[in-house]
A and B are shown apart, each in its own frame.
Chain A
Amino acid sequence: MKPAPFDYVQVTSVAEALDALAADPDQSKLLAGGQSLVPMMNFRLARPAVLIDINRADELNGVARDGGRLRIGATTRHLQLQNLGGDDALSSLLRRAAVHIGHLPIRTVGTFGGSLAHCDAASEWCLVARLLDAEISTASRERGVRTIAAENFFQSLFTTAMLPDEMLTAVALPLLDDQHHAGFVEFARRAGDFAIVSAAVLVRTVDGVIRTARVCLGGVSSVPFRSSAAEAVLLGQPWSEDGCAARVSAAAADAAATEVAPTGDMHGSEDFRRDLVRALVPRALAQAADSTRNRMRSR
């Protein structure tokens, strides 16, 4: 349970980080919060020769509005997002997702960018990024700056579109106006565990009718899964203060549960994961309605 030997480099800027990374991209790893990387090193599942600590690169940390987007720096801690102010649908979605990430000590250290770069199938942030069509910015000495859409970013388990010499610098999420209703729920065995299945929904309604719908599921494939079948069920359906009709959310859940092709493992069989999809999609939709209602009331 002790890591293999490695060299440690601390940088204070993106430029320094990219220089360090360029020296030996295949043998180097960036250290952000370390909440996944360090345990993997202790198990010797990861054995980078060089660890480049980017925690002192202040430009990577923070959340800012940037036109119609929210720009989240790579080393922004989960807890910063959990404590994000604002009564808009995006802020409340981020808060609701953040509370599920591990335990408080993990959330004080673990980072948003690290979570996306790690690309765990159970990651809350990967699901949110996919739900919102996040734009992910990367940088490298050789390739310069790239912006990658979430759809293309998450490729398979622990594998993203980033190349070894690239680092994730920031993520842009679209701001959500009051036509949007978002919900995030997940099922884990114990508080703070990795989700077995998670569900995130986003609907945009105009005059009480669902005009766009997004249903994204975690834990049913190696990367966040977008259920077009469930979305098709929701499109054009009425949306009231209580959300959509129970019949509609059940149909959307059924469609999603039929569409997914989960792989069973010791944490959940294929059948059980489908059961959870069926259970969680309606709860995510109900939460989306609840959260809008609470928002309107508090105004």
Chain B
Amino acid sequence: MACAQTTPTVESTKSQASQAWVGRTIPRVEDPPLLCGQGTFVADIAAGDNCLYAAFIRSSVASGRLVSVTAPPGVHLVVAADLTAKPIRPLLLRPEYVPIDMPILADEVVRFVGEPVAAVFGRTQAEAEDAAEQVQVEIDRLPAVVSVADALADGAPLVHPVHFPTDPNVAIDARRETDGFHAAMKAADRRISIQVSCGRQSAMPMEARASHVSIDRSTGRITLTTTAQMPHVIRTGLCDSLGIPEDQLRVVVPDVGGAFGAKQPLAREDVVLIHVARQLGRSVAWIETREENFLAAWHSREQVYQLTGGFSTDGTLLCLQSEITSDVGAYSCYPVTFGVEALMAMNELPGPYACPEYSGHSRAILTNKCPVAPYRGVARPVLTMAMERLMEVAAAELGLGRVEIRLKNVVKEYPHRQATGFVIDPSSHVEALEQAVAATDFDAHARRKEEAAKHGRLLGIGMSVFSESSGFGTSAFAERKMAITPGYEKVQMSFDPSGNVVLRIGASPHGQGLRTTLSQIVADELGVDPSRVRVIHSDTDATPYGWGTFASRSLVIAGGASKLAGAKLREQIKAIAASMLECDARDIRLRDGNAEVTGTSVRVSIDEIARLAHHNSQLLPEGLDVGLDATATYDPKGTFSNSVHVAEVEVDPATGQTTILRYLVIEDAGVMVNPQIVEGQIRGGVAQGIGNALYEELLYDERGVLTTTSLLDFLPPTMAEVPTIEIQHLETISDFTVTGAKGVGEGGTMGAPAAILNAINDALASTGGAVTHVPATPQRVREAIRQAQRGKEESA
């Protein structure tokens, strides 16, 4: 059997590789050191270095004029006036975007509680904190904008003294509308409206932010070791601010204890550290405290959605109108800006449902609160909750089944272009719904509920259906009009003379298991064991330029690039093998570490080939370069995975406490490179979604002071609150990605709040109460029940 002459294409790859490693659960190579306490985090590096520690002095006032910052002699104090660095100015190239400068340290004005106004230093963290206590900060308090209502009120103070094109404090005021929207809404049989909202949240990584800066004595080059998600990109931002060429700064990311988006933005604190390290010629570290992390390390999610759906009497969604407000805090985050939630919210509606006509209006509103940044799911947990609440309410009002109305409206033909321009690639919305219904006996739940009601127990079941956008390349980000446009990933792959593969990537995994999954992809391409593949990442000196890890992109994009590079390298190996074995390259296949002549036992090991390519280059076939290396770039349009989540809950009517009795996820991630890693992503995401749905909320008081500054007050779910999460897979192969894999990094967080809120409201149906804000805390549930009771008493 002769193979067809190949150029490295996807088709040839599929027929060539036996797919021995992709699709298998192999243990994560990342785990042993982490589980044995041998991980290396920033604080470990600082502890092993004779560095100074920084402590930041932060504003205790939401809005005010900075009068003075003083410290007694002997305290090394750094204030805004000591810095020459430029403010950080994240940019979107959209007409409605109002650029906002974020100074490195607050200068003249403070805009939120927790904003850094100065830094001090000590030989230990305790000494730095001792020094911080000696700093006197005088601030003249000014009226603060603490809520969206405050921000939009007549005569509201301006969070920033800039020109806002529409209303004061409205930094983004975006609209989009299809031509036929108004006619469709007018023609609809029923117009059904809902409102849902989500409290402010923290991504709350277990490890708070941390940075260590050292200066190379001989060259003066700076190394920043930090907890970043986008090492190459923040290097650009830091160098722009500091006015130094990028070659002078190396950014390294060691092990990271969770990021979830909150470590994506450039940290203004890092600019101060670099400034001081250069000034003193000595290493400086900052290990953020949990309290600082709550105060100042980016918040998320505080959004309100009003949706109106125009339905026909049979339940078909004809058109959708959205009115979205996002409370984005006091500054914009670099590089993605505070447009990230507001714009995604508007553009990704109506989720997985076919809806030809759409009108969206989304505003990002400035307040004197901590700025927001992406957090796993970005807008989609809330927009999914809004869309799924609309489906619940519409089903009830139209007298349709909850499954029926969803089945009627989900996208069924692929690819499907949404009204907002997103193209949904081959997915399995109908199959996922049907499988979820069958697995949970969804329709029979009413009987279980009725039975429980006889004993005074409230049971409920709820679902959420959604598509998860993932793996977006340059073209998708270009549409967002980001001044810095992420998208592609580039990889460099090479063999060393011993036959091991080194893969250098621009993505920056920090818990996702990408070293494992990429090694599986490469192993199949090259016919080697995954243990022979070493992935190098998160070091700007050692990796090709890339965008880091966020937005469920790395496996899709870096994985695609790795597959393409592997295909190129495979052809080089085959050419060398053919020359060594004196046969035609088309007859060679790579398997189990060998290049063998198909159908014979004639083979040569890839190790020998690698050695020859380096040490006996005189024997290489003509036209081949020395060594074995290849570079590939992948830049897909984007792909949608899809899911259905089902939650069964019990609500204690007396206390308002919700207990999750069962949680099921039907997930279609396309080709799963490593099923256990996929399931880990889902479970972790659902746990955070449960936090969003029931427990976690950042609260400010009326003066704009954050009151939830410790883990006594901000309550992530623990193992005791997270139930067993059942997962079933579907596998729709989409040709939108070269590996067939779809991103699944955020789906867990996206589906859980909607499914749980719907389940709670199903349980509360008999009381007449409903909750429309998450977290649906026991107190809120009790308020809903009490309000419904009062309503009944009044009408009686």
Interface of A toward B, CB cutoff 8 Å: 1-5, 43-44, 187, 189-194, 266-269, 271-272, 275-276, 278-280
Please encode chain B, from 282 to 311, with 1 for each CB lying within 8 Å of some chain A CB and 0 for all others. 000000011100000000000000000000
- Whether B126 and A268, one on each chain, are in contact in the complex, defined by CB atoms closer than 8 angstroms, is no
- Whether B721 and A191, one on each chain, are in contact in the complex, defined by CB atoms closer than 8 angstroms, is yes
Q: Which residue from chain B places its CB closest to the CB of A276 in the assembled complex?
A: B655
Which residues of A have CB within 8 Å of B133? 4, 44
Q: List 24 A-B contacts (CB under 8 A).
A: A1-B125, A1-B290, A2-B126, A4-B126, A4-B129, A4-B133, A5-B126, A43-B291, A44-B129, A190-B717, A191-B721, A192-B718, A192-B720, A193-B715, A266-B699, A266-B707, A266-B708, A271-B782, A271-B783, A271-B786, A272-B779, A275-B786, A279-B652, A279-B655
Interface of B toward A, CB cutoff 8 Å: 124-126, 129-130, 133, 289-291, 652, 654-657, 695, 699, 707-708, 710, 712-713, 715, 717-718, 720-721, 777-779, 782-783, 786
Q: How far is the CA of A282 from the CA of B9 in the complex (A)?
A: 71
The answer to whether A187 and B720 touch (CB under 8 A), given A2-B125, A266-B708, A266-B713, is no
Q: Which residue from chain A places its CB closest to the CB of B710 in the assembled complex?
A: A43
Q: How far is the CB of A281 from chain B (nearest CB, A)?
A: 11
- Whether A279 and B654, one on each chain, are in contact in the complex, defined by CB atoms closer than 8 angstroms, is yes
Which residues of B have CB within 8 Å of A280? 655
Q: Is the interface of A mostly helix, strand, loop or mixed?
A: loop
Q: Which of A4, A189, A276, A279 contacts B777 (CB 8 A)?
A: A189
Which residues of A have CB within 8 Å of B699? 266
Q: Which residue from chain A places its CB closest to the CB of B125 in the assembled complex?
A: A2
Q: Is the interface of B mostly helix, strand, loop or mixed?
A: loop
Q: Which residue from chain B places its CB closest to the CB of A278 in the assembled complex?
A: B654
- Whether A269 and B779, one on each chain, are in contact in the complex, defined by CB atoms closer than 8 angstroms, is yes
Q: How far is the CB of B4 from chain A (nearest CB, A)?
A: 60
Q: Which residue from chain B places its CB closest to the CB of A189 in the assembled complex?
A: B715
Q: How far is the CB of B767 from chain A (nearest CB, A)?
A: 14
Which residues of B have CB within 8 Å of A2? 124-126, 129
Q: How far is the CA of A24 from the CA of B656 in the complex (A)?
A: 49
- Whether B125 and A275, one on each chain, are in contact in the complex, defined by CB atoms closer than 8 angstroms, is no
Q: How far is the CA of A136 from the CA of B164 in the complex (A)?
A: 65
Q: How far is the CB of B614 from chain A (nearest CB, A)?
A: 51
Q: How far is the CB of A194 from chain B (nearest CB, A)?
A: 7
Q: Which of B713, B718, B782, B783 contacts A190 (CB 8 A)?
A: B718
Given A190-B695, A193-B715, 13 extra CB contacts under 8 A: A2-B125, A4-B130, A190-B715, A190-B717, A266-B708, A267-B713, A269-B779, A271-B782, A272-B778, A272-B783, A275-B655, A278-B654, A280-B655
- Whether B126 and A190, one on each chain, are in contact in the complex, defined by CB atoms closer than 8 angstroms, is no
Q: How far is the CA of A189 from the CA of B658 in the complex (A)?
A: 10
- Whether B126 and A189, one on each chain, are in contact in the complex, defined by CB atoms closer than 8 angstroms, is no
Q: How far is the CA of A251 from the CA of B778 in the complex (A)?
A: 23
- Whether A272 and B782, one on each chain, are in contact in the complex, defined by CB atoms closer than 8 angstroms, is yes
Q: How far is the CB of A103 from chain B (nearest CB, A)?
A: 8
Which residues of A have CB within 8 Å of B779? 268-269, 272
Which residues of A have CB within 8 Å of B125? 1-2
The answer to whether A275 and B708 touch (CB under 8 A), given A1-B290, A44-B129, is no
Q: Which residue from chain A places its CB closest to the CB of B129 in the assembled complex?
A: A2
- Whether B707 and A187, one on each chain, are in contact in the complex, defined by CB atoms closer than 8 angstroms, is no
Q: How far is the CA of A272 from the CA of B695 in the complex (A)?
A: 16
Which residue among B130, B718, B782 has the maximum number of chain A CB atoms within 10 Å of its CB?
A: B782
Q: Which residue from chain A places its CB closest to the CB of B716 in the assembled complex?
A: A190
Q: How far is the CA of A229 from the CA of B72 in the complex (A)?
A: 58
Which residues of A have CB within 8 Å of B718? 190-192
Which residues of A have CB within 8 Å of B130? 4-5
- Whether B695 and A189, one on each chain, are in contact in the complex, defined by CB atoms closer than 8 angstroms, is yes
Q: Which of A1, A187, A191, A269 contacts B655 (CB 8 A)?
A: A187
Q: How far is the CB of A280 from chain B (nearest CB, A)?
A: 8
Q: How far is the CB of A25 from chain B (nearest CB, A)?
A: 24
Q: How far is the CA of A271 from the CA of B781 in the complex (A)?
A: 12
Report the 4 A-B pairs with minimum CB-CB distance, sorted nearest first: A279-B654, A2-B126, A191-B720, A272-B779
Q: Which of B129, B713, B782 contacts A275 (CB 8 A)?
A: B782
Q: How far is the CA of A3 from the CA of B129 in the complex (A)?
A: 9
Q: How far is the CA of A1 from the CA of B695 in the complex (A)?
A: 25
Which residues of B have CB within 8 Å of A278? 654
Which residues of A have CB within 8 Å of B129? 1-2, 4, 44
Q: How far is the CB of B724 from chain A (nearest CB, A)?
A: 16
Which residues of A have CB within 8 Å of B124? 2
Which residues of B have CB within 8 Å of A269? 779
Q: How far is the CA of A114 from the CA of B291 in the complex (A)?
A: 26
Which residues of B have CB within 8 Å of A267? 713
Q: Which residue from chain A places its CB closest to the CB of B713 in the assembled complex?
A: A266
Which residues of B have CB within 8 Å of A268? 779
Q: How far is the CA of A66 from the CA of B610 in the complex (A)?
A: 82
Q: How far is the CA of A268 from the CA of B291 in the complex (A)?
A: 22
Q: Which of A44, A194, A272 contacts B712 (CB 8 A)?
A: A194
Q: How far is the CB of B361 from chain A (nearest CB, A)?
A: 32
Which residue among A4, A272, A278 has the maximum number of chain B CB atoms within 10 Å of its CB?
A: A272
Q: How far is the CB of B32 from chain A (nearest CB, A)?
A: 25
Q: How far is the CA of A193 from the CA of B712 in the complex (A)?
A: 8
- Whether B291 and A1, one on each chain, are in contact in the complex, defined by CB atoms closer than 8 angstroms, is yes
Q: Which residue from chain A places its CB closest to the CB of B291 in the assembled complex?
A: A1
Q: Which residue from chain A places its CB closest to the CB of B709 in the assembled complex?
A: A43
Q: Which residue from chain A places its CB closest to the CB of B55 in the assembled complex?
A: A2
Q: How far is the CB of A123 from chain B (nearest CB, A)?
A: 14
Q: How far is the CA of A44 from the CA of B707 in the complex (A)?
A: 17
Q: How far is the CA of A43 from the CA of B695 in the complex (A)?
A: 24
Q: How far is the CB of B710 from chain A (nearest CB, A)?
A: 8
Which residue among B291, B657, B718, B778 has the maximum number of chain A CB atoms within 10 Å of its CB?
A: B778
Q: Which of B289, B708, B712, B721 contacts A1 (CB 8 A)?
A: B289
Q: How far is the CA of A278 from the CA of B720 in the complex (A)?
A: 25
Q: How far is the CB of A174 from chain B (nearest CB, A)?
A: 31
Q: How far is the CA of A189 from the CA of B655 in the complex (A)?
A: 10
Q: How far is the CA of A199 from the CA of B192 in the complex (A)?
A: 45
Which residues of B have CB within 8 Å of A44? 129, 133
Q: Which residue from chain A places its CB closest to the CB of B782 in the assembled complex?
A: A275
Q: Which residue from chain B places its CB closest to the CB of A267 in the assembled complex?
A: B713
Which residues of B have CB within 8 Å of A192? 718, 720
Q: How far is the CA of A246 from the CA of B158 in the complex (A)?
A: 58
- Whether B708 and A190, one on each chain, are in contact in the complex, defined by CB atoms closer than 8 angstroms, is no
Q: How far is the CA of A28 from the CA of B173 in the complex (A)?
A: 58
Which residues of A have CB within 8 Å of B720? 190-192
Q: How far is the CA of A188 from the CA of B654 in the complex (A)?
A: 14
Which residues of B have CB within 8 Å of A271? 782-783, 786
Q: How far is the CA of A182 from the CA of B707 in the complex (A)?
A: 37
Q: How far is the CB of B124 from chain A (nearest CB, A)?
A: 7
Q: How far is the CB of A196 from chain B (nearest CB, A)?
A: 8
Which residues of A have CB within 8 Å of B290? 1
Q: How far is the CB of B208 from chain A (nearest CB, A)?
A: 10
Which residue among A2, A266, A269, A279 has the maximum number of chain B CB atoms within 10 Å of its CB?
A: A2
- Whether A3 and B126, one on each chain, are in contact in the complex, defined by CB atoms closer than 8 angstroms, is yes
Which residue among A1, A4, A187, A269 has the maximum number of chain B CB atoms within 10 Å of its CB?
A: A1
Q: How far is the CA of A272 from the CA of B655 in the complex (A)?
A: 8
Which residues of B have CB within 8 Å of A194? 712
Q: How far is the CA of A189 from the CA of B777 in the complex (A)?
A: 8
Q: How far is the CA of A142 from the CA of B167 in the complex (A)?
A: 69
Which residues of B have CB within 8 Å of A187? 655, 657, 778
Q: How far is the CA of A189 from the CA of B126 in the complex (A)?
A: 33
Q: How far is the CB of A55 from chain B (nearest CB, A)?
A: 23
Q: How far is the CA of A189 from the CA of B659 in the complex (A)?
A: 11
Which residues of A have CB within 8 Å of B655? 187, 275-276, 279-280
